[in-house]
Amino acid sequence: MSRTLLWLQSGGCGGCSMSLLCAEGPDLFGRLEAAGIELLWHPGLSVGDLPTLLEAVLAGEQPLDILCLEGSVIQGPDGSGLFHRLPGSERPMRDWLRDLADRARQVVAVGTCAAYGGITAGGGNPAEACGLQYDGDLPGGLLGEAYRAGGGLPVVNIAGCPVHPGWVTETLALLAADVFTEADMDELGRPRSYADHLVHHGCPRNEYYEYKASAEKISDLGCLMENLGCLGTQAHADCNIRPWNGEGSCLRGGYSCVNCTAPGFEEPGHPFLVTPKVAGIPVGLPTDMPKAWFVALSSLAKAATPERLKRNATTDQPQVPPGGNGRRRP
């Protein structure tokens, strides 16, 4: 039995769709076909009269199993929603979304904007942007905390900026097979298949982290947590376990994790590449380690740091190979 999928975009950049189109092994269309999902509409992949299709869904003439939103819900100005009207109609997109959510068997927020407001909600939020069922980390959003889709689930928040294509295709396949339950979602509505991991897991800089051998500038090889704002020990995602296209992640590319799967990541209160400290101790510590333990272990680890890691941590190329007995490269 096939399942129908309708994908709409609102306040966002389209980056989640760009990431999704890079799905591999299988590609996006192969994965949808294997899961028995019929794509009714995607703004970058479809042509035709969208308002007529939506009217058919609302009239009950076109079944809708999975409704996906990419981008935040735009409520401005002054709660009118008129900042974003669906092309081809004079009706605010948020009104279409509310009515379509009442018809859908499952509703999915694709990306942190759709889940929590994300980048679109930053800077004082003049667009009055919010997520489908959250406004930042507060339940509510467009649909309200009590909302449940026709299949009984709240909004499934596939958060990320952008999302990993595997998070999306995996979750859609499980929803289509009716084997995804509320127990498969964490406390913020994210699929636990990726949110039960930390970006820290599988990080290529973990050896430097263990010995607190820290980078001092963005091109250095060392751990980025102490000085350069990395939140990988707090961010819920498996980016370094299943990297993009089998190769990429922010940390593998030399950039600090900014915890983009979390509500409010867009406004941390300090520059992304700065680690706030109190008395020299980073404010952002691992979520499941008491501060006193972390400080004690850090002191011991730094005292035991191999010379190889000390030297390599603040360079952009390894200077001392493993087993090099402290000798620099020629």
H helices present in 37-164, as ranges: 50-58, 93-103, 112-116
Q: 160 and 32, same structural domain?
A: yes
- Please indicate, yes or no, if residue 327 is contained in any of the structural domains: no
Q: 239 and 186, same structural domain?
A: no
The residue among 150, 171, 195 that closes a domain is 195
Q: 123 and 19, same structural domain?
A: yes
- Please indicate, yes or no, if residue 329 is contained in any of the structural domains: no
- Please indicate, yes or no, if residue 323 is contained in any of the structural domains: no
- Please indicate, yes or no, if residue 330 is contained in any of the structural domains: no
Percent of the chain whose predicted confidence (pLDDT) is above 70: 94
Question: Does 22 have pLDDT greater than 70?
Answer: yes
User: Which residues are registered as beta bridge partners of 85?
Assistant: 92
Residue 226: which CATH number?
A: 4.10.480.10
CA-to-CA distance for 251 and 249, rounded, in angstroms?
5
Question: How many Å from the N-terminal Cα to the C-terminal Cα in the chain?
Answer: 64
Residue 170: which CATH number?
A: 3.40.50.700
The residue among 157, 173, 195 that closes a domain is 195
Helix (H) or strand (E) holding 112: helix 112-116
Question: Does 151 have pLDDT greater than 90?
Answer: yes
Q: 65 and 104, same structural domain?
A: yes
β-strand 73-74 against 129-130: which pairing, if any? Answer: antiparallel
**Mean pLDDT (whole number) for 249-273:** 94
- Please indicate, yes or no, if residue 164 is contained in any of the structural domains: yes
- Please indicate, yes or no, if residue 53 is contained in any of the structural domains: yes
- Cα dihedral 206, 210, 212, 218 in deg (nearest 10): 0
The residue range of the domain holding 160 is 3-195
The residue among 195, 226, 259 that closes a domain is 195
Question: Does 294 have pLDDT greater than 90?
Answer: no
Q: pTM above the 0.75 mark?
A: yes
Directed axis angle between helix 50-58 and helix 93-103, to 10°?
40
Please give the single-letter amino acid code of residue 144. G
- Please indicate, yes or no, if residue 161 is contained in any of the structural domains: yes
Q: 152 and 135, same structural domain?
A: yes
Q: 221 and 190, same structural domain?
A: no
When divided into structural domains, the chain yields a total of 2
Of 49-53, 190-194, 264-268, 286-290, the least confident: 286-290
Q: 283 and 241, same structural domain?
A: yes
**Mean pLDDT (whole number) for 58-76:** 98
Question: Token pair for residue 48?
Answer: 């035709």
